[in-house]
Structure 1
Amino acid sequence: MSSVDPRSPAAPPRPWLGQYPTDVPHTIDEQAHASLVSLLEDAWQRHADREATLCMGARLRYRDIDALSLALAGWLQQQGLVKGDRVAVMMPNLPQYYPVMGAILRAGCVVVNVNPLYTPRELSHQLRDSGAKVLFILENFAATLEAITEPLPVRQVVLCAMGDLLGFWRGAMVNFVVRHVRKLVPEHTLGSTEKRRVLRFAEALRQGGQHPFQRVPLGPNDVAFLQYTGGTTGVSKGATLLHRNLVANVLQMDAWFSPVLHRLGERPLTMVAALPLYHIFALTLCGLFSTQRGMLNLLIPNPRDIAGLVRTLGQHRVNLFPAVNTLFNALTEHPDFAKLDFSELVVSVGGGMAVQQATAERWLRLTGCPIVEGYGMSETSPVATCNRMDLNTFSGTIGLPVPSTDIAIRDEAGQDVPPGLPGEICIRGPQVMAGYWNRPDETAKVMTADGFLRSGDIGIMDTRGYVRIVDRKKDMILVSGFNVYPNEIEQVVNLHPGVRECAAVGIPDPHSGEAVKLFVVRRDPTLSEDDIRHYCHDNFTAYKRPKVVEFCEELPKTSVGKVLRRALRDHGAAAVVA
């Protein structure tokens, strides 16, 4: 098939447009805001009196974020930072994140989100690769920074504390408990050497308030974020996201979600921000889209504390709940979750990894709100496809391309494949990154001549335009010449009532080249290997059936809940096997 540019007049019609709800536009106005700062400042002013964040009982309004970010932007300029300089942020979901992000963007600088759970090696790589000159870091992770021995570009460090922005008394109490009762702040001596300047968050605010902020001209093609990706599959690379990329994705989400949100009227809505804001899924939905709509973000600093999360949810009526499959699954397993009131929950969005049917069905049964699965990558800001918001059952697909987005399914030669056949999912739209930071060679590997991003994911598009993920290229298992996709194995085995979760990987086999190995976490402690084998015999053809089954206490995962199949393939995975 020819690779005709689907945006050209001669291009065939996009089948997915016929599946759009009547009140969802086919395209967005990409010129609506000149920059992400324009979008944020407009939202801060329109929603000035609305509550923006709620964390540990303390609330910030949008006018507070506006003022705080202005002071911090002045402080950044006071340090000599100029347009294009990178500033790293290493903290969990805390109120400080919002004004810090706003300040960096207002100063014309670039936000570099950092996973707080990084090791010194991982942190060092990201700081050096990005060239970050300033680092905002929660004091709980200061020891990680101090453990780095090689030179870093960071000149100034701003130490944040859990209690910052929680109010004087509540903040003091939280800090005392975190530091002295729970002992969550390891000893460190940051600031005692001359290598870099260190000061507290409150002092940066004070100094910035005394330094008039000078507005920086920004345009759509200026860099807004370096969003690092690929750390679990190789050297972590910074996806260069421009202001127009993030603006586009916020507007795409607004167009897609608006029909269901309009039914709730103009009252302020509450979004659960349990996914970490340093991850692109939460950044766009909970950090940017929620701001654009004037929502209250219910911040969850530690979503791994499922019991604590359930208690928090019990105190609020939430309207939107973005999460990954593992979080949805863990919540539905908690005995108190079914007691919660979800009468006002209208949007449950699953992303970051495949949503399992068994999890989706339990969630719907307990909350009455179906999980709407979407798909994207750090490289696409992130949302590229999403199921319709009026979905009322598990679809097994990642939905339709969102407005102003093209999806092509292509073979190894880069040619489009017919509907119903598998190929690489390729994405083109205003939300697609400019490239990988300082890595033109890596950028060339994923960008096509006609402007598509090669995702590395294998998918199938049906005649209506719905896309279904088959799996990652690198995770595909080749058994005697037959392709076996781990996602398929996991989706089916997870439906077994005795299985809590599972993961399938390929292992070397002298007869078939590779064989399927299945790791299983039991829900039913009496579940046996024979039970799994009989179940797989009934559900899979011979070459798809696991040759090896191992039970484990838990599956290794990233900080946002993605299963690390690579770790399971390594010999080191024996540490998690029961």
Structure 2
Amino acid sequence: MERVWLKRYPSGVPAQIDADHYPSLLDIFSQSIEQYADKTAFINMGKSITYRELDQKSIAFAAYLQSLGLKKGDAVAIMMPNLLQYPVVLMGILRAGCVVVNVNPLYTPRELEHQLTDSKAKTIIIVENFAHTLSDIQDHIQLEHIILTKMGDMLGCVKGNIVNFVVKYLKRLVPSYNLKSFVSFNDALKQGAELPLQKPTLVGSDIAFLQYTGGTTGVSKGAMLTHRNMVANLEQVTGCLDTFFVKGEERVVTALPLYHIFALTANFFTFFKYGATNLLITNPRDMPGFVKELKGFSFTAITGVNTLFNGLLNTPGFAQLDFSTLKLSLGGGMAVQRPVAERWQKVTGTRLLEGYGLTECCPLVTVSPYDLAGFNGSIGLPAPSTDIRLVDEEGNDVAKGESGEMLVSGPQVMLGYLNRPDETAKVLKDGWLYTGDIARMDDEGFFYIVDRKKDMILVSGFNVYPNEIEEVAAMNEKVLEVAAVGVPHDVSGEVVKLFVVKKDPSLTEEEMIAHCRQHLTGYKAPKSVEFRKELPKTNVGKILRRELRDEEIKKSTKA
């Protein structure tokens, strides 16, 4: 496919990047720590830590890990929400030469057991709130070391003790657990501070992360992301933004969890490289508390998913915040809906731009250029050094303007899935990653996601894409959240069903269907609407259509 998108790149954005600019992520750490030593790196719950302090603590943690006998390439798991401990632990693991295994704290015992067993993790750093999950499976896994932390461990003696007391005894957020043996995080830091660190020799081909996919369509798979993959993706991100951001002056809001690939790259690594101050939000689902934290933080950038932006817009007090310093709002993880993007721009005065990525690509593949006047419904232009093809079911390139499965090639594409050569072979073919997403490209090189291949609805032989239905439904001001799925039908094979969370209690099924029929051709319009108090979501707020669809299939089977 001709790289027509290069002509649309803003001035200063390179066509190619050097994926070997830094030998490993450790070199990026060293560069930023040297340049921004006394600047605030992270803030959480009112407590801040400088780049210099982060350097010292992460070195101590790395030395402690090595003292446990961990060697280069050993897997170490992290299971916690956004806390100041996260950057210390993350950097410490990499500085010890080990591989980071990010774990969703909300995992069930079964899911946790699978990930720890599959990755062969020897050590886990876990926050006390979720220790009960680990204790349930400790007899079934080959874990050698457990490092236990509490929510307030890095907030200072007085505040930390208060937070830990409130979390455990007043809010009762720490279920009882029975771990056989563990070391406290603070003790690990103290011991590590007295130990020397043996700096590992890392090269680009060494694995940095085993980043597990959500597993919504089967068993969770560990994408093997190398230091070169991650460095390349950071070079691609900063290549797009170097003329837009000012080094040492940016302030970013990180509400998405750092254990998710989007926040890991877009928030942690990107803004660490820029010497930014990063505000970590531990519980973004507490929207009033989230808005309260934003009041005292003059942020220049914020990332999120559509549901997060929508939630903020519907939280009292958000519209009254000072947005005078805000330069970039970036959505990913799921489709940004036009009504949300347009309202965001009206309230904040800043464009809500969309990017697209996959765990298998570290994740950035495409991103909207910063000079875009406003939301245009696209996922933007391919990142530098990224090639994209659109193919039909037979693997042939589709004609210009037509939709096809998106294939990606670039230095950010993973090595493959750990322990799963069969699954790897399904998605990596002849140097191309088969994404499973259906897209089209316009004349300027902007790409538009039509939908997930597996989420597509087939009505009487016609392809119906949920994104389109959901965007139309969201245009109704009485709708808060919406999901469209295909449900079995005797005549047409499938029909569209909507699941809606109301913003206005007066909304009816008849009104919703009539609204959709006004904007959609007949076979695309929903035939039924089910109202719910909430919709099932992933850990980052992405609505799980598959779960809703499975419910409907079970109903039809029983009937």
TM-score range for the pair, normalised by the shorter chain length? over 0.9
- Alpha-carbon distance between aligned partners in 1 of 2:69 and 2:513, rounded to the nearest angstrom: 64
2:547 paired residue among 567, 570, 578: 567
For 1:485-504, list aligned pairs within 5 A: 485-504=465-484
Matches within 5 A, 1:115-154: 115-148=104-137, 150-154=139-143
C-alpha deviation, 1:168, in angstroms: 1.4
Q: Which amino acid aligns with 2:496?
A: V
What is the Cα deviation at residue 123 of structure 1?
0.7
Are the aligned partners of 2:62 and 2:192 in contact in 1 as well (CA < 8 Å)?
A: yes
Deviation at 1:149, TM superposition (A): 5.7
Give secondary structure in 1 for the equivalent of 2:203: coil
What does residue 378 of structure 2 align with? Answer: 397
Pairing of 1:54-69 with structure 2 (within 5 A) = 54-69=43-58
Match for residue 92 of structure 1? 81
- Where 1:147 maps in the other structure, the secondary structure is helix
**1:75 is matched with which residue?**
64
1:252 alignment partner AA: Q
Q: CA offsets, 1:444-497, max 9 Å, x none?
A: 000121x11110100001222110000001100111110000111001111111
Is the CA contact (8 Å cut-off) linking 1:306 and 1:331 kept in structure 2? yes
Q: Secondary structure at the match of 2:41?
A: strand
The reply on whether 1:278 has 2:259 as its aligned counterpart is yes
Query: Which residue pairs with 2:508 in the alignment?
Result: 528
Q: Whole-Å Cα distance in 2 between the matches of residues 162 and 573 of structure 1? A: 41
**CA spacing shift, 1:572–1:134, aligned 2, 3 Å:** farther
Amino acid at match of 2:102: N
2-structure distance, mates of 1:45, 1:460:
44
Shift of 1:392: 2.4
2:384 alignment partner, SS class: coil
Question: In structure 2, what is the Cα distance between the partners aligned to 1:13 and 1:553?
Answer: 47
- Whole-Å separation in 1 of the counterparts to 2:190 and 2:318: 43
- The corresponding residue for 1:252 is 236
Aligned counterparts of 2:112 and 2:510: Cα–Cα separation in 1: 44
Distance 1:508 1:358, change over 3 A: same
Aligned residue number for residue 538 of structure 2: 558
Distance 2:479 2:437 in 1: 26
Q: What amino acid maps onto 2:110 in structure 1?
A: R
- Indicate whether 1:38 and 2:27 are aligned: yes
AA aligned opposite 1:396: G
Kept in 2: contact 1:260–1:390 (CA 8 A): no
1:226 aligned to 2:207?
Answer: no
Structure 1 CA distance, aligned partners of 2:317 and 2:258? 26
The alpha carbon displacement at 1:574 in A equals: 10
Contact 1:320/1:345 (<8 A) preserved: yes
SS in 2 for 1:322: strand
Q: Which residue of the partner structure matches residue 8 of structure 1? A: none
Which amino acid in structure 2 is aligned with residue 407 of structure 1? I
Q: 1-side partners of 2:12 and 2:359: how far apart? A: 28
For residues 267 and 401 of structure 1, what CA distance do their matches in structure 2 show? Answer: 27
CA distance in 1: counterparts of 2:269 and 2:248, whole angstroms: 18
| Rounded Cα–Cα distance in structure 1 between residues aligned with 2:446 and 2:65 | 46
- Partner of 2:378: helix, strand, or coil? coil
The verdict on how the C-alpha distance between 1:200 and 1:572 changes in structure 2, with shifts beyond 3 A counting, is farther
C-alpha contact (below 8 Å) 1:277/1:287 kept by paired residues: yes
Partner of 1:343: 324
C-alpha distance after superposition, 1:286-306 (max 9, x if no partner): 211111111111010001000
SS in 1 for 2:518: helix
1:541 corresponding residue in structure 2: 521
What displacement does 1:403 show? 0.7
Task: After superposition, give the CA deviation of every residue in 1:305-359 in whole Å (9 maximum; x if it has no partner).
Answer: 0000000111111001010000000000012111100100000000000000011
More deviation, 516-525/566-575: 566-575
1:244 and 1:350 map into 2 onto residues whose CA distance is: 25
> Equivalent of 1:105, from 94, 105, 119?
94
1:14 maps to which residue?
3
How far does the alpha carbon of each residue in 1:385-405 deviate from its partner, in whole angstroms, 9 at most, with x for none?
Answer: 001112221110001001111
State the alpha-carbon separation in 1 of the partners of residues 40 and 540 from structure 2: 26
Q: Secondary structure at the match of 1:301?
A: coil
Distance in 2 of aligned mates of 1:309 and 1:419: 44
**2:464 aligns with one of 484, 500, 505:** 484
Which AA in structure 2 matches 1:202? N
Residue 420 of structure 1 corresponds to: 401
d(CA) in 2 for partners of 1:183, 1:536? 44
- Change in 2 beyond 3 A, CA 1:574/1:391: farther
Q: Give the corresponding residue for 2:219.
A: 235
- Name which of 3, 9, 16 aligns with 1:27: 16
Unaligned runs of 5+ in 2: none
- CA–CA distance in structure 2, aligned partners of residues 31 and 564 of structure 1: 37
Equivalent residue number for residue 391 of structure 2:
410
Match for 2:201 among 217, 224, 239? 217
Q: Name the Cα RMSD after superposition.
A: 1.4
Alignment pair present for 1:187 and 2:176: yes
Letter in 2 for 1:303: P
Q: Which stretches in structure 1 are left out of the alignment for 5+ residues?
A: 1-11
Instruction: Please point out which of 359, 362, 372 is paired with 2:340.
Output: 359
Question: Aligned partners of 2:138 and 2:328: how far apart in 1?
Answer: 46
CA apart distance, 1:150:
4.7
For these two proteins, the number of residue pairs brought into alignment is 555
Question: Letter of the aligned partner of 1:108 in structure 2?
Answer: G
Q: How far does residue 573 in structure 1 lie from its aligned partner after superposition?
A: 10
Of 310, 322, 326, 2:291 maps to 310
Letter matched to residue 363 of structure 2: P
- 2:156 paired residue number: 167
How far apart, in 2, do the equivalents of 1:481 and 1:96 lie? 52
| Distance verdict in 2 for CA 1:103–1:148, change over 3 Å | same
Report runs of 4+ in structure 1 exceeding 2 Å deviation.
570-575
2:183 to 196, 199, 216: 199
Which residue pairs with 1:9 in the alignment?
Answer: none
After superposition, the Cα gap between the structure-2 partners of 1:394 and 1:120, relative to the gap in structure 1 and judged at 3 Å, is same
Mapped partners of 1:150, 1:236: distance in 2:
21
CA contact (8 A) 1:50 1:268 kept: no
Distance 1:319 1:218 in 2: 34
SS in 1 for 2:190: helix
In the TM superposition, residue 259 of structure 1 has moved relative to its aligned partner by: 2.2
Q: What CA distance in whole angstroms lies between the structure 2 residues aligned with 1:496 and 1:249? A: 38
State the alpha-carbon separation in 2 of the partners of residues 529 and 370 from structure 1: 33
Match of 2:487 in 1: 507
Normalising to structure 2: TM-score of the pair? 0.97
**Aligned residue identity for 1:29:** D
The answer to whether the 8 A contact 1:567-1:573 is kept is: no
Matched residue type, 1:324: V
Residue 405 of structure 2 aligns to a residue in which SS?
A: strand
Q: CA deviation at 1:239?
A: 0.6
Q: Give the residue type in structure 2 aligned to 1:338.
A: A
Deviation (angstroms), 1:206 = 1.5
1:289 has 2:273 as partner: no
Contact 2:288 2:316 in 1 (8 A): no
TM-aligned CA distance change 1:70 to 1:310, over 3 Å = same
State the partner residue of 2:424.
443
DSSP-derived class of the 2:53 partner = helix
Deviation of the 1:207 alpha carbon: 1.6
Tell me if structure 2 keeps the 8 A contact 1:272–1:297: yes
Amino acid in structure 2 at the alignment position of 1:223: I
| Amino acid corresponding to residue 307 of structure 1 in structure 2 | P
Give the secondary-structure state (helix, strand or coil) at the position aligned to 2:322.
coil
The one-character-per-residue Cα deviations of 1:475-528 (angstroms, maximum 9, x if unpaired) are 001111100001110011111111112110011100011111111111121111
Q: CA deviation at 1:23?
A: 1.3
